[in-house]
Amino acid sequence: MTPANTYASLYRDTLLNDVIPFWQNHSLDREMGGFYTCLDRTGQVYDTDKFIWLQARQVWTFAMLYNRVEQRPDWLDVSRHGADFLQRFGRADDGSWYFSLTRDGNPLIQPYNIFSDCFATMAFGQLSLATGSDEQANLAESTFRQILARRDNPKGHWNKAVAGTRPLKNFALPMILCNLALEIEHLLDKSLVEQTIDECIHEVMDVFYDPALGLIRENVTPDGQVSDSFEGRLLNPGHAIEAMWFIMDLAVRRNDRSLLDRAVQLTLQTLEYAWDADFGGLLYFMDANGHPPQQLEWDQKLWWVHVETLISLLKGYQHTGDERCWQWFEKVHDYTWKHFPDPENGEWFGYLNRRGEVLLPLKGGKWKGCFHIPRGLYQGWKTLDAIARNQTVRQ
Amino acid sequence: MTPANTYASLYRDTLLNDVIPFWQNHSLDREMGGFYTCLDRTGQVYDTDKFIWLQARQVWTFAMLYNRVEQRPDWLDVSRHGADFLQRFGRADDGSWYFSLTRDGNPLIQPYNIFSDCFATMAFGQLSLATGSDEQANLAESTFRQILARRDNPKGHWNKAVAGTRPLKNFALPMILCNLALEIEHLLDKSLVEQTIDECIHEVMDVFYDPALGLIRENVTPDGQVSDSFEGRLLNPGHAIEAMWFIMDLAVRRNDRSLLDRAVQLTLQTLEYAWDADFGGLLYFMDANGHPPQQLEWDQKLWWVHVETLISLLKGYQHTGDERCWQWFEKVHDYTWKHFPDPENGEWFGYLNRRGEVLLPLKGGKWKGCFHIPRGLYQGWKTLDAIARNQTVRQ
């Protein structure tokens, strides 16, 4: 068994010497502001559109590193560079966040996607911790309140479902709110934080979790029942596993061992269900009844799925000592590090086919930016450090 | 060289003894009306939602066979069975067509997709030829007029693009209107037919065709210029090749040899560009500048792409005698017949991965129904028959 501190060094060094410099070197638009995220395998820009998800996530990442790793002025500069662009161009008149902008900040795609607002909240919440800026803090807090107000109809008039025929609610929002409430805890009343956490834990662990199936469904009816439809049968294993480390963080905070154990168990169940026995790696989408899913990309291996799984396994092992978590961690680690990193040019590929071959030779695009990999490497590093300290104590 | 009449028999027999019986046996919902289209590899129903595209396309297919192959009452019954369901449940109050319905006809997804209307027009136009029904004819004609009225803003308030920032028009609508105008020619004033055809030929061959690239782009600016964006760089080779047989039909009708030659040339150029040298078959999506496309399914091999390519190559060969068309036909035929048909259970798989392995073991779903394969087999059979007669004459 490789000792935890060996892994910890790998995660730390990859974060600080490979992934973060890649984005610092290649992504800043010094002329128009904000970040390029469409970077090819060498870091060259192949498209200049600016997607709010990815602008905000990179603002968050650099502010988080500044707040938690080291107060490096260059990191704070990168975060501010993106935040300035977002503040100038990111919002529609009603304060909601566009989905995408042109290179120079003209709105391209309307604010139909509430996760733009979620990531903007994270970005300005984290940055306000570094800067102490009231304006940034207020922007995070007001955006968070808008999310809560919109949560029952997040797509507004862009929603193509006919109201009432087959109402469904989606897992992504309660899952992200779990994490978001902690991210901006410093800006919210304690009662709102606790209430949001209560609701999110309940939604994730009781409503979207299907005990008969042993897995989390991506969509359920408003009262938490199964819908026998494409949406109702849909499983997104990476999504469910990512949510489990948010839940573990909440369980630790509340000192709730039972919740922690459930989150670990659910991580392992999902992993066993979604692991590809033929080619390794985790499948992207599945149908709970084994029917063909609608998503043509269902069998692909995505970077974020694997990175988030590593975090959940490490946190599970850290907090419970369950050896299954460590065994699975080593297996998923081996797959991930064998297939995703690009030693030739730095950073990681994002999209592999079922066999683990590179499907799209990009480092960033419409959905992949500076977020899951650095967050995962940071979380992995710190968790592995804690595990290594425990191992030392035990020796 | 295999003679054309051997191929013709294969296409005819597969149509009449395999594909059409599969849908007749498995797709009719005798209780609620309309068609099941989500059929697994054996023909079992795995989902009961009813998608207007596929309901209408199956109505069209059975009416077309009745009108052009044989006036079999069972075929007309199938077509009417779907048409009745569409007439009862398919439209919103303003006459536009929903995107999907529940099994019992409740509207699920709003009429955001103008191609639902296009396929409804085809369905009722073709069926009205068989039945002589004024109601069906009026429904086709009024839907066609609604399409023309909506064509500049087909998505209405479901359009997520901010107006004015990056206006683009999409290839699909002018391409389908080429075909639609001929489909319902019997219901339209001659001047409207000719005007629609003029506009469509111009749009397809002059506006969306990029002479510098030698290919058709999927999206261009309103004045036909290149947009250096994901949408503007997008190529959909199967779509472009499918359009070429619509154009060939129009060229034959107008006795326009120059237009015919251009359509043949464009078919061959697109095929050479999109043929997968590594694994065979045509790629689904490409980026004109060689950048990574957004579509994760870009390297998959889809049934309709290959079937439509066979039609364009056969029509090209029939009308011009260009031997390159026949050589490519035999190559694409071999790939298609080796990979898509399912001799064990009948009908064809729709979705293969890049290597030509089955990606989704379904015969029908949200997008694949009773349309491209039977239409392609019918067109192939009849075109091969004509080629065989010419071969006999030449001997």
Sign of the Cα pseudo-torsion (A293, A294, A298, A302, in order): negative
Minimum-distance CB partner of B47 among A157, A230, A351 = A230
Distance of CA A152 to the CA centre of its chain: 22
Q: Looking at residue B207, what DSSP letter applies? A: I
Nearest in space to B301 (alpha carbons), one of B349, B246, B247? B349
Q: How far is B348 from chain A (nearest CA, A)?
A: 15
Cross-chain residue pair B292–A49, CB shorter than 8 Å: no
Interface touch A229/B354, C-beta < 8 Å: no
Domain that holds residue B349: 167-363
Q: Per-residue pLDDT averaged across B9-35, rounded?
A: 98
- Is residue A119 very low, low, confident or very high in pLDDT (cuts 50, 70, 90)? very high
Residue A347 Ramachandran class (φ > 0 left, ψ -120 to 50 alpha, else beta)? left
Given a cut of 70, whether residue B164 has pLDDT beyond it is yes
CB contact under 8 A, A165 and B365: no
- pLDDT band of residue B2 (cuts 50, 70, 90) is confident
In the predicted model, is pLDDT for residue A395 greater than 60?
no
Compute CA distances B21 → A4, B31, B382, B393, whole Å.
Answer: 62, 20, 19, 34
Q: Which residues of B205-242 are buried (b: 16+ CB within 10 A; e: fewer)?
A: bebbbbeeeebbbbbbeeeeeebebbbbbbbbbbbbbb
- How far apart, in whole angstroms, are the C-alpha atoms of residue A94 and residue A275? 43
CA distance A243 to A185: 18
B231 within a domain of the structure (yes/no): yes
Residues B101, B97: Cα–Cα separation, whole Å: 10
In the numeric block, the tokens 């939602």 are attached to B49
Give the residues across from A209 on adjacent strands: A216
Pick from A49, A160, A297: which is nearest to B109 by CB? A160
Per residue in B180-200, pLDDT tens?
989 999 999 999 999 999 999
Using one digit for the tens of pLDDT, what is the confidence trace for B220-278?
A: 999 999 999 999 999 999 999 999 999 999 999 999 999 999 999 999 999 999 999 99
Residue B348 per-residue DSSP state: B
In a domain, A83, yes or no: no
Name the token pair of B27: 């797709």
Closest partner residue to B107 (CB to CB) among A112, A165, A353 is A165
Could you give the number of structural domains in chain A?
1
pLDDT at A178: 83
- Dig out the tokens for B326 from the structure: 């026949």
* Average confidence (pLDDT) over A239-251: 97
Helix (H) or strand (E) holding A153: none
CATH number of the domain at B203, please.
Answer: 1.50.10.10
| Residues A273, B380: Cα–Cα separation, whole Å | 44
C-alpha to C-alpha distance for A123 and A64, rounded to whole angstroms: 9
Residues facing residue A375 across a β-bridge: none
CB atoms within 10 A of CB B191: 8
Work out the percent of chain B whose per-residue pLDDT is above 70: 99
pLDDT score at B144: 96
Mean pLDDT of A267-278: 98
Decide if B124 is inside a domain: no
Element (H, E) at A201: helix A190-202
Is residue B147 helix, strand or coil? helix
Alpha helix stretches (DSSP H) within chain B: 4-14, 20-26, 52-68, 73-89, 114-131, 134-150, 172-183, 190-202, 230-233, 237-254, 257-274, 303-320, 323-339, 372-394
Interface of A with B in 154-173 (CB under 8 A): 157-158, 160-162, 165-166
What's the maximum distance between 2 C-alpha atoms anywhere in chain B? Answer: 62
Structure confidence by residue, pLDDT tens digits, B45-64: 999 999 999 999 999 999 99
Euclidean distance between CA atoms A257 and A319, whole angstroms: 9
The verdict on A17 touching B (C-beta cutoff 8 Å) is: no
* 3-state DSSP helix/strand/coil % of chain A, to nearest 5: 55, 10, 30
Rounded to a whole number, what is the distance in Å from the CA of B178 to chain A's nearest CA?
28
* CA B54 – CA B116 distance, rounded (Å): 9
Q: Hey, are the CB atoms on A296 and B291 less than 8 Å from each other?
A: no
Whether the pLDDT of residue B395 is over 70: the answer is: no
Q: In this structure, are residues A170 and A218 in contact, taking their beta carbons and an 8 Å threshold?
A: yes
Rounded-to-integer distance, Cα A319 and Cα A324, Å: 13
CB of A120 within 8 A of CB of A143?
yes
Contact A360 B292 (CB under 8 A): yes
d(CA B105, CA A321): 53
| Residue A356 touches chain B, beta carbons under 8 Å | no
Q: What is the pLDDT of residues A206-237, one digit of tens each?
A: 999 999 999 999 999 999 999 999 999 999 99
For residue B165, the Cα-to-chain-centroid distance in whole angstroms is 31
Burial track A322-339 (b if 16+ CB lie within 10 A, e otherwise)? bebbbebbeebbebbbeb
**Alpha-carbon distance A124 to A370, whole Å?**
16
% of chain A surpassing 90 pLDDT: 96
Nearest to A365 among B292, B299, B351 (CB): B292
Residue B15 lies in a domain: no
* pLDDT at A394 > cutoff 70: no
The Cα A98–Cα A91 span in angstroms is 6
Mean pLDDT (chain A, rounded): 97
Q: Do the Cβ atoms of A166 and B292 come within 8 Å?
A: no
Q: Which helix (H) or strand (E) holds A108?
A: strand A107-109
Q: Is residue B268 part of a domain?
A: yes
pLDDT at A393: 67
Rounded Cα gap, residues A181 and A187, in angstroms = 9
Question: pLDDT category, B393, cuts 50, 70, 90?
Answer: low
Question: CA-CA distance, A180 to A120, in Å (whole number)?
Answer: 10
* Token pair listed for B201: 């030929």
Contact B205, B262 (CB under 8 A): yes
In the predicted model, what is the mean pLDDT of chain B?
A: 97
Question: Is residue B354 less than 8 Å (CB to CB) from chain A?
Answer: yes
8-state DSSP, A189: -
* pLDDT of A17: 98
In-domain check, residue B196: yes
Beta-sheet pairing, A169-170 with A219-220: antiparallel
Q: pTM of whole model > 0.80? A: yes
Q: Measured between beta carbons, which residues in chain A are less than 8 angstroms from residue B342? A: none
Residue B100 is inside which H or E element, if any? Answer: strand B100-101
- Residue A175's contacts (CB-CB under 8 Å, 6 or more residues apart) are A200, A204, A239, A242, A243, A246
Taking the C-alpha atoms of residue B196 and residue B356, their distance in angstroms, rounded to an integer, is 39
> If DSSP codes are grouped into helix, strand and coil, which group holds residue A197?
helix
Report yes or no: B150 and B156 within 8 Å, Cβ to Cβ.
yes
Say whether A46 and B292 touch across the interface (CB within 8 A). yes
- Cite the DSSP H helix spans in B285-354: 303-320, 323-339
CA quadruple A209, A210, A216, A222: dihedral sign? negative
Measured CA to CA, the distance from residue B329 to residue B22 in angstroms comes to 26
| Cα–Cα distance for residue pair A168/A159, rounded to 1 Å | 12
Distance from CA of B275 to the nearest CA of A (A): 17
Interface contact A41, partner B, CB < 8 A: no
